[in-house]
Structure 1
Amino acid sequence: MRTLGSNLETSGAADLTAAEVALTELVASALLGEVREPAGSLTGVQTAHFRRVAATIDARLSDPDLALALIARLEGLSIRYAQKLFEGRGESFSEYVRQQRLEHCRIDLADPNHAHESVAAIGQRWGFRDQSHFSRTFGATFGMSPRQVRRARSQTEEAYPLRGKPDGRKSAAARPAPMLRAAVDRPPTARARERTDHWHLPATAETVHWGFFSRSLPPVLRVDPGDSVTVETLTQHAGDDWQRMVAGDSGAESVFDWSPEHKRVDRRGAGPANASIFGRGAGEGFGVHIMTGPIYVRGAEPGDVLEIEFVEIRPRPSAAFPGKAFASNVSAWWGYQYHDLLDRDAKRETVTIFEIDMRCPAAARPLYSYEWQPQTDPFGVVHATIDYPGIPVDHSKVSHRDLSGSGVRIPARLHFGCIAVAPREADLVDSIPPGYFGGNIDNWRIGAGAKLYLPVAVQGALLSLGDGHFAQADGEINGTGLECSLTGDIIIKLHKAGEVCPAFLRGLNSPLIETEHSWVIQSFSHPNYLRDLGSNAQSDVYKTSTIELALRNAFRQTRRFIMQTYDLTEDEVLSIMSLAADFGITQVADGNFGVHATITKAVFGERQHSQRTARP
């Protein structure tokens, strides 16, 4: 501490991080009467270097492949010198890392916030691949097994009321909203690797985040470019019919778990966590989508382009109704129709539940509908409108209208409405307005066989998927698509800045969709509203978006894309756009209105992509 005090003006973030950790450990050790000087000695300069090394290690403890060579390179030291720092303390790099990991595991095992996690998951989070090795090492170090530490905690655990929970109720959220960490500080959780390059990511309370994106959200899965992933997603509208879309489904039940005593996934949105402004719930007011992820892509850095190829998408079967899947469409207060009803004095929100036959999921048929009536959530808050996601509807308070004999059939257009990498501009970003990072694009063309290109904004990209739609039309006119829990098989690829890549990715600053036969250039009223609208961007975007702005931006992006991709002049491109590019309204439901341009590749005949290659 004296060294830090005398060099405070020149101390960096790594010094301060190491000091924070050291001070906390010093106080804890002093209280336990266990203050010990490490064997060996270091000079003042070596001590300063070791502090920086320790901070770098601490930020990457979760990486099971952590190596001394990486730490040395990051700190600009030789490997031999780094080894000497540990030798001066009478230990090795591997011993130090193992001890730090074990300490973190012991803290998590004794923390009630991690009571829902398995011992294996905690060990894996801090870099222990093998559970039996973790248990043996833990027992040898602390004289008791991980399970004994957990049992000791549970025997003395007391209930502490948490701020923002009605009546002091505890939340068993897997990731408490205020505790966001660096995007690389945790390894994957709840994952199962089936082949060397294929992963399965289930949708559970431990693998989803609800209503927001964040550059600081710990990843639940790490993959290499070229890996494929089966991603499960859940619709935020499953509570519209609990029996059909939640009951008996362990993953869905964990995510929607909400009783008078606790709420498993507490934060639902990018708003205030203490629920004190509107009184709706943690995260209230901003963001609604259940997102599975984030997925950390090794090697992805700002300036790169992430490619997501959608191989197959399928509905999530109902657990309670074998052979069936279900979806919900809501004519909501945020829809285009709400202030233009035939009876303008009879404002209403209507929920329509659709049924899908899993034997032939080519279409969905309406089953029944009901008009929303005020619903009381498990914490006792009354919701006169659909103003907070995941409210379990009490069907004794609504009247069903049978639609099973209507003869209507909605053809399948399975796609994920919300696909995003983490934005760089803010730590908590509302999941509703889309932008350059993707997000709530709501374009049905991103289905099986399509590719989506997104510019990477943060290290690892941090890809998340959700908002499954069985179908949606351009416009999304009543505020929602046919909201359905979906599972998708995707392949994740990376186009590096500084390496040769296709010309059409040069300078990519907005989502780009490619299908087998067409290009779809996607734009919005504000392509980067987080940057362009200032400190109040996440509220102002709802006030300032227009179709005119979205069309103008789509026109400019399409002109640039064709000129760059096919090496044509502006005059040539303007003619082609007017004759062969279909401009359509993607959606007017998401705060940042969307317009896209679709142009078939056949328009360009034998003309190949520009042979010029460039950095993204």
Structure 2
Amino acid sequence: MGDYQGTLQPGARVDDAVYLPADPDAVRWGRLPRRGDAPVLTVDPGTALTVDTVSHEGLLPDQGSDPRAFFGGHGVAREDVLEDAIGIAARGARTAEDGPHVVTGPIEVREARPGDLLAITLLDATPRVPYGVISNRHGRGALPGEMPAGPADVSVFTPISPDENGEWRGRLPIAEGGDRIVSFPLAPFLGIMGVATDTDEAAHSVPPGPHGGNIDIRHLTAGATLYIPVQVPGALAYVGDPHFAQGNGEVALTALEASLRARIRLDLLDASEAAREFGDLVTPLAADATHLMPTGLDADLDEAMRACVRQAIALLGARYGMAPHLAYAYLSAATDFEISQVVDLVTGVHARIRRADFEGVR
């Protein structure tokens, strides 16, 4: 990851030739792109670009809809509040029925067609600010009815700072107002990466699906790729829901939500290459240098687990020619199945298949 080196206001210190800011005209709030939406940017397959993302935390109505006041109340200097966050909140282009997430895009990828796979690779993710928020709100999370313990929503302001070795870490007090601190490492990633849905209505930003969206897989850090089945011509890709860190499950409703500057690359696998590499993907596939991570998505966590196992068996068959009963045995003996998140209406499970186990098989 890129370490925090000062607040990254829109346009500041941009090195890439292609840059997409998160200004109010280049984002949508609470809904995802759909068939027929106009792109805010068009690129060729293989293009690398810089994209600014804005966290919704500090912008929402129950936080006052004024990030200057919200973050200023936590001691953040005015110059360290993002101008694009202020502009998005001021425009207020969101209803109570919409999701909370600010989504940058859509980006048209030339030549992308339904049946292809769009590969979104996170090349780098740099904190734009030295703080974020972890929330337990809206009667959701893994313990609805138990947490929050009182009637008020909970938004925990969480600063980041380097330790004695220069590693940036999130910091939380052990008790409110106390001086004892627990710290944890950062691993920035984009909770939302996806393609437009082939629908008349714009999809809500919270539940993930075959289009990707709010997939919330914490392993999609710098160097990792999410492969998503293209739904509409041009793919109409988008990113958002930036995180500084997340645990598997994301149990409180959000993890450490905070704005990132992301460098991404958009690659395209045509339908024949996609089938040869990964088989018929029903849901997105995450991958990094060491693991393949098929996913399962369903409102029922048990069904999400079953869907993930089926997708993993199909992947091993298509990619390596492995017989289903042997793939099932291998997955049981050698693969971890992890809960991506349990808080996004549609729950997620991902498998962690080691690439090294199949060296020389293909």
SS of residue paired to 2:180 = coil
> Mean Cα displacement is larger for which, 512-521 or 358-367?
358-367
Structure with larger RCO (C-alpha < 8 A, sep 6+): 2
SS of residue paired to 1:365 = strand
The match for 1:564 among 293, 318, 329 is 318
Q: Hey, what's the Cα distance between the residues in 2 that align with 1:472 and 1:331?
A: 14
The equivalences for 1:539-578 within 5 A come to 545-578=299-332
CA drift of 1:284 comes to 1.6
- Correspondence for 1:452: 226
Amino acid at match of 1:512: L
Structure 1 position 484 matched with structure 2 position 289: no
- Preserved contact between residue 224 and residue 297 of structure 1 (Cα < 8 Å): yes
SS of residue paired to 2:244 = strand
- Describe the superposition over 1:304-338 as per-residue Cα deviations: whole angstroms up to 9, x where unpaired: 11011111111113xxxxxxx11000112211223
Cα distance, 1:223–1:265 mapped onto 2, change above 3 Å: farther
The equivalences for 1:26-41 within 5 A come to none
- Preserved contact between residue 296 and residue 308 of structure 2 (Cα < 8 Å): yes
SS of residue paired to 2:235 = coil
SS of residue paired to 2:302 = helix
Structure 1 position 256 matched with structure 2 position 89: yes
- Describe the superposition over 1:392-429 as per-residue Cα deviations: whole angstroms up to 9, x where unpaired: xxxxxxxxx335x2220121121111111111134211
Cα distance, 1:245–1:358 mapped onto 2, change above 3 Å: farther
SS of residue paired to 1:408 = strand
SS of residue paired to 2:319 = helix
Q: Hey, what's the Cα distance between the residues in 1 that align with 2:42 and 2:160?
A: 33
Q: Hey, what's the Cα distance between the residues in 1 that align with 2:248 and 2:151?
A: 24
CA drift of 1:502 comes to 6.4
Indicate the RMSD between aligned Cα atoms, in angstroms: 2.4
Q: Hey, what's the Cα distance between the residues in 2 that align with 1:484 and 1:292?
A: 14
Cα distance, 1:595–1:566 mapped onto 2, change above 3 Å: same
CA drift of 1:363 comes to 1.2
Cα distance, 1:358–1:410 mapped onto 2, change above 3 Å: closer
The match for 1:510 among 255, 259, 283 is 283
Structure 1 position 495 matched with structure 2 position 249: no
Amino acid at match of 1:233: T
Structure 1 position 287 matched with structure 2 position 99: yes
Amino acid at match of 1:578: S
Hey, which of these two has a bigger chunk of helix by percent?
1
SS of residue paired to 1:209 = strand
The match for 1:604 among 333, 358, 361 is 358
SS of residue paired to 1:429 = coil
The equivalences for 1:456-475 within 5 A come to 456-475=230-249
- Correspondence for 1:335: 141
CA drift of 1:521 comes to 0.9
CA drift of 1:357 comes to 2.5
The equivalences for 1:348-387 within 5 A come to 348-357=152-161, 360=166, 362-366=168-172
The equivalences for 1:368-407 within 5 A come to 401-403=176-178, 405-407=179-181
Amino acid at match of 1:349: D
- Correspondence for 2:66: none
Structure 1 position 520 matched with structure 2 position 293: yes
Q: Hey, what's the Cα distance between the residues in 2 that align with 1:245 and 1:407?
A: 22
Q: Hey, what's the Cα distance between the residues in 2 that align with 1:495 and 1:200?
A: 23
Q: Hey, what's the Cα distance between the residues in 2 that align with 1:435 and 1:411?
A: 29
Structure 1 position 302 matched with structure 2 position 97: no
CA drift of 1:548 comes to 1.0
CA drift of 1:552 comes to 1.0
- Preserved contact between residue 173 and residue 181 of structure 2 (Cα < 8 Å): no
CA drift of 1:606 comes to 2.6
Amino acid at match of 2:117: V
Give unpaired runs (5+ residues) of structure 1: 1-189, 258-263, 269-282, 318-324, 370-400, 526-544, 609-616
CA drift of 1:228 comes to 0.5
- Preserved contact between residue 352 and residue 368 of structure 1 (Cα < 8 Å): no
Structure 1 position 420 matched with structure 2 position 194: yes
Cα distance, 1:594–1:517 mapped onto 2, change above 3 Å: same
Q: Hey, what's the Cα distance between the residues in 1 that align with 2:344 and 2:170?
A: 24
- Preserved contact between residue 305 and residue 505 of structure 1 (Cα < 8 Å): no
Q: Hey, what's the Cα distance between the residues in 2 that align with 1:436 and 1:485?
A: 25
- Correspondence for 2:204: 430
Cα distance, 1:549–1:605 mapped onto 2, change above 3 Å: same
The match for 2:55 among 228, 235, 243 is 235
Structure 1 position 204 matched with structure 2 position 23: yes
Q: Hey, what's the Cα distance between the residues in 2 that align with 1:464 and 1:368?
A: 37
- Correspondence for 1:13: none
Q: Hey, what's the Cα distance between the residues in 1 that align with 2:147 and 2:354?
A: 37
SS of residue paired to 1:551 = helix
- Correspondence for 1:7: none
Q: Hey, what's the Cα distance between the residues in 2 that align with 1:549 and 1:572?
A: 22
The match for 1:225 among 35, 41, 45 is 45
Q: Hey, what's the Cα distance between the residues in 2 that align with 1:604 and 1:474?
A: 26
How many aligned residue pairs are there? 335
Amino acid at match of 1:230: T
The equivalences for 1:140-219 within 5 A come to 198-215=17-34, 216-219=36-39
Q: Hey, what's the Cα distance between the residues in 1 that align with 2:230 and 2:158?
A: 36
The match for 1:592 among 325, 328, 346 is 346
- Preserved contact between residue 189 and residue 222 of structure 2 (Cα < 8 Å): yes
Cα distance, 1:256–1:595 mapped onto 2, change above 3 Å: same
- Preserved contact between residue 354 and residue 368 of structure 1 (Cα < 8 Å): no
Q: Hey, what's the Cα distance between the residues in 2 that align with 1:250 and 1:351?
A: 21
Q: Hey, what's the Cα distance between the residues in 2 that align with 1:295 and 1:367?
A: 40
- Correspondence for 1:392: none
SS of residue paired to 1:212 = coil
TM-score between the two structures when normalised by the length of structure 1: 0.52
Amino acid at match of 1:205: P
- Describe the superposition over 1:261-285 as per-residue Cα deviations: whole angstroms up to 9, x where unpaired: xxx142x2xxxxxxxxxxxxxx222
TM-score between the two structures when normalised by the length of structure 2: 0.86
